[in-house]
Amino acid sequence: MHFNKLAVFLSIFILAACTTKKESPKKDKQKPNIVFIMSDDHAYQAISAYDDKLIKTPNIDRIANEGMLFTNATVTNSICAPSRAVILTGKHSHINGKIDNRSPFDTTNVTFPQLLQKAGYQTAMFGKLHFGNNPKGFDEFKILPGQGDYYNPKFITTKGDTTITGYVTDIITDLAIDWFDNRRDTEKPFMLMYLHKAPHRTWMPAERHYKEFTKKTFPLPKTLFENYVTRETTAAPAEMNLLKHMQLSYDLKLTDSVAKQLDIKNWNAIGNRIGRLNPEQIVAWDAIYDPINADFAKRFPEMNDSTLMVWKYQRYMQDYLGTIAAVDENVGRLLNYLDEKNLSENTLVVYTSDQGFYLGEHGWFDKRFMYDESFKTPLLIKWPNVITAGTTEQEMVQNLDFAQTFLEVAGVTAPKDMQGESLVPLLKGNKEKWDREGVYYHYYEYPGEHAVKRHYGLATKEYKLIHFYYDVDVWELYDRKKDGSELNNVYNDPAYADVVKSMKTKLDLVREKYKDSDSLSNQYIELYKENGWIK
């Protein structure tokens, strides 16, 4: 009897202990994890969830299939470092001070990773930040210096700089998975910023992809040969035309010897980016790109502007899309890892880019304008048991909104000076709680690379009003429903007089709301003069 009583007592004790452990997890473990995936210059046109004419991206698409696809996601300032500053601070460029790629980031800004870290989240960043070498609010980071390199890249870490042999997109994913495997604190929720260099210029694909994509031909955009007839003073002067400004060597991998042989002016050597390849990588590279160069050398004497433009477009797409193939594969690796480790169910996953990009539309590459291809950005979000799978959302949202979204998801009160709006109501299907009609945009970096003039504007689902205000004083209005390609400026069309009046009123109100003004714009112009950037 004594033995039986002891056995029963021990059984009850063990059962009670197990029950207590199971039912009393740490409170923080119940908070959702956050994985923020961002690529650099990834056009929404190059994600098959939006458009499958150019490339299939099944792994990125999976986020939309399991969650929500935003069709009107936009940026506040379409240029790399300012966009990232907006994302981190939840403030427009004129408030956080990072108006362009030149100005330093004000490190007194409070960022959402700092607030999440303070609230008990373990935080990590791997990949491309693009400004500053010591980001605040991260328990661990390994980031590329500046633009970084595609092959054998250097990384900045808290323990010193290091060079890792391999292809940058694969390496960034390896770093993230290594952190999960070896240094993640399983007692805390996590926030991971997983940031790709690709597909930023100079578009150097991995060997497995340049062997495939250099054999492909892509459909031409319908506006490839646009003449800017209603935008002679705003769009026409921009220096991002494929024919005139895309460099044969730096961008399209033409060898120095071929360029000299053909006596091509302004061909621009690709320099140290190819130089980072090791001997084995160079052999593989030359085996593919040398025949392309030899074929070009044969054809070039017979080319006219049109045929050269088409050749440049095809080469551009082969390399640009080749870099995206690696991004898609590696996004798949990370999503599969989350599944295998049973982390997906309690993890919000975001895929976006720091802005859109021109893939030959309007004859362009690059970004900066408020026209759709650079103003709009991909945004796909999955959050199991919260977002209804396969949802499409058309509301006007911005990268300005990410900070407050992540803070609300984590149960953290956002600072009052953040200017975005949490996307959580849209993610939960509570659209009645969303009342934003339009989004505000302001681009500053002029004079500067690509010569896109300063402008600001307001976009609604129906219309887009833009004011170019330095070097010129020009207004543009686009009917987004009737003119999706934004070819016809109808600002001076009498039929749109009432629309112009209404949009100007709304623009004034939104500038007041966000504390932007002509006087502040003039201060930033004076900053350029003081630094000698305006002569």
Give the per-residue pLDDT at 274: 74
C-alpha distances out from residue 206 to 88, 388, 463, 487, Å: 30, 35, 41, 36
| Residues 510 and 492 placed together within one structural domain of the fold | yes
What is the reported pLDDT for 8?
Answer: 38
**How many domains is the chain built from?**
3
Please report whether residue 209 resides in a domain. Answer: no
The answer to the question of residue 48 being in a domain is yes
Alpha-helical segments (H) within 46-105: 58-65, 80-89, 93-96
Same domain, 283 and 256: yes
Residue type, 324: I
The C-alpha atoms of residue 441 and residue 266 are separated, in whole angstroms, by: 34
Domain boundary among 436, 467, 498: 436
- Determine contact, residues 455/466, Cβ cutoff 8 Å: yes
Q: Which amino acid is at 137?
A: G
* Confidence at residue 4, expressed as pLDDT on a 0 to 100 scale: 43
The helix/strand count (H/E) of the chain reads as 17, 16
If asked whether residues 114 and 248 sit together in one domain, one would say no
Whole-structure pTM value = 0.93
Please report the pLDDT score of residue 202 as a whole number: 93
Same domain assignment for residues 477 and 380: no
The encoded tokens of residue 153 equal: 């890249």
Domain-located, residue 216: no
Domain end among 436, 466, 484: 436
Q: Are 305 and 351 in a shared domain?
A: no
Q: What angle (nearest 5°) sits at the alpha carbon of residue 435, between those of residues 433 and 436?
A: 135
CA distance 308 to 316: 12
Burial-class residue 337 by CB neighbours within 10 Å (0-12, 13-18, 19+).
middle
297 and 376 co-located in one domain = no
Q: Is residue 15 part of a domain?
A: no
123 and 32 fall within a common domain: yes
At 273 the pLDDT is 61
Query: 208 lies in a domain?
Result: no
Residue 21 lies in a domain: no
Backbone phi and psi for residue 393, each to the nearest 5 degrees, phi listed first: -120, 125
Label each residue of 241-287 as H, E or C: EHHHHCCCCCCCCCCHHHHHHCCCCCCCCCCHHHHCCCHHHHHHHHH
**Of 437, 375, 513, 348, whose CA–CA distance to 83 is shortest?**
375
**pLDDT tens digits, residue range 424-483?**
999 999 999 999 999 999 999 999 999 999 999 999 999 999 999 999 999 999 999 999
Helix, strand, coil percentages (3-state) for the chain, rounded to 5, are 40, 15, 45
Pair (53, 148) in one structural domain = yes
In a domain, 413, yes or no: yes
As given in the structure block, the two tokens for residue 169 are 């997109």
Q: Is residue 470 a part of any domain in this protein?
A: yes
| Judgement on whether residues 60 and 163 belong to the same structural domain of the protein | yes
Residues of the chain with pLDDT under 70: 1-29, 265-273
- What CATH number corresponds to the domain at position 398? 3.40.720.10
Considering the domain architecture, whether residues 246 and 373 belong to the same structural domain is answered as no
Q: 234 and 93 share a domain?
A: no
**End-of-domain residue from the set 316, 338, 359:** 316
How confident is the model at residue 270, as a pLDDT? 58
The CATH code of the domain that includes 454 is 3.30.1120.10
In this structure, the answer to whether residues 127 and 154 fall within a common structural domain is yes
Domain span at 309: 229-316
